[in-house]
Amino acid sequence: MHIFTAVKFNFSTLLVGMFLAAVVGYLIGYFLRKLISQYQLKEAEARKIKIIEEAEQEAQNRFKAAVVEGKEQVLVEKEKVEKEVQAKREELRDQQRRMHKKEDELRLSKVSLVDFEKQLAARMKEAEKTKQSGLDEKSRYEALAQEEMKKLEIISSFTAEQAIEEIKAKVVDLAHLDAAKEVKKIEENAKNNAEEEAKKIITMAVQRLASDSVAESTVSVVALSDDSIKGRIIGREGRNIRALEQATGVDLIIDDTPGAVILSGFDPIRREVARLTLEQLILDGRIHPGKIEEVVAKCRKEVASQTRKAGEQAVMELEVDNINTEMVHMLGRLKYRTSYTQNVLEHVKEVARVCGFLAAELGLDVQLAKRAGLLHDIGKSIDRQTDGTHTQLGVDVAKRFNEHKYVVNAIGAHHEDIEPESLYAVLVIAGDTISASRPGARREMLETYVKRMTKLEEIGDSFKGVEKTYAIQAGREVRIVVVPDIATDEESNMLAKKVARRIEKEVTYPGEVKITVIRETRFTDVAH
DSSP 177-226: HHHHHHHHHHHHHHIIIIIHHHHHHHHHHHHHH--------SEEEEE-S-
Is 304 domain-assigned? yes
| Co-location of 417 and 437 in the same domain | yes
Q: In this model, does residue 208 exceed pLDDT 70? A: no
* pLDDT given for residue 167 in this prediction: 64
**pTM for the model:** 0.45
CATH number at 498 reads 3.30.300.30
- The one-character DSSP state at 342 is E
Give the length of the chain: 528
| Co-location of 504 and 430 in the same domain | no
* CB contact at 8 A, 442 and 215: yes
Q: In this model, does residue 216 exceed pLDDT 50? A: no
| Co-location of 386 and 477 in the same domain | no
Domain that holds residue 395: 336-443
Nearest-angstrom CA–CA distance, 346 and 212: 10
CATH number at 224 reads 3.30.1370.10
| Co-location of 220 and 276 in the same domain | yes
| Co-location of 275 and 222 in the same domain | yes
Instruction: Write out the H or E segment, with its range, that includes residue 132.
Output: helix 2-155
Q: What is the pLDDT of residues 29-71, one digit of tens each?
A: 878 887 887 888 888 888 888 888 888 888 788 878 877 887 8
* pLDDT given for residue 190 in this prediction: 58
- Domains contained in the chain, number: 3
Looking at 443, 466, 498, which one is the last position of a domain? 443
| Co-location of 303 and 342 in the same domain | no
Strands 514-519 and 260-264: unpaired
Q: Which one of 235-244, 282-291, 496-505 scores highest in mean pLDDT?
A: 496-505
Residue 2: count of CB within 10 angstroms of its CB: 6
| Co-location of 388 and 487 in the same domain | no
User: What is the CA 323 to chain-centroid distance, rounded?
Assistant: 26
| Co-location of 343 and 435 in the same domain | yes
Looking at 318, 348, 369, which one is the last position of a domain? 318
Q: In this model, does residue 157 exceed pLDDT 70? A: no
| Average pLDDT of every residue of the chain | 77
Q: What is the pLDDT of residues 312-329, one digit of tens each?
A: 888 888 888 888 888 888
Residues 6+ apart with CB under 8 A from 168: none
Alpha-helix runs per DSSP H in 235-288: 239-248, 268-284
Q: Number of helices (H) and strands (E), helices first, in the chain?
A: 15, 8
| Co-location of 382 and 425 in the same domain | yes
Q: What is the pLDDT of residues 75-97, one digit of tens each?
A: 888 888 888 888 888 888 888 88
CATH number at 341 reads 1.10.3210.10
Is 232 domain-assigned? yes
Q: What is the pLDDT of residues 4-19, one digit of tens each?
A: 555 455 777 877 878 8
Looking at 288, 318, 348, which one is the last position of a domain? 318
Is 185 domain-assigned? no
| Co-location of 341 and 304 in the same domain | no
Q: What is the pLDDT of residues 298-313, one digit of tens each?
A: 888 888 888 888 888 8
| Co-location of 298 and 350 in the same domain | no
Q: What is the pLDDT of residues 426-473, one digit of tens each?
A: 888 888 887 776 655 555 555 566 778 888 888 988 888 888 888 887
* pLDDT given for residue 213 in this prediction: 47
Nearest-angstrom CA–CA distance, 54 and 289: 130
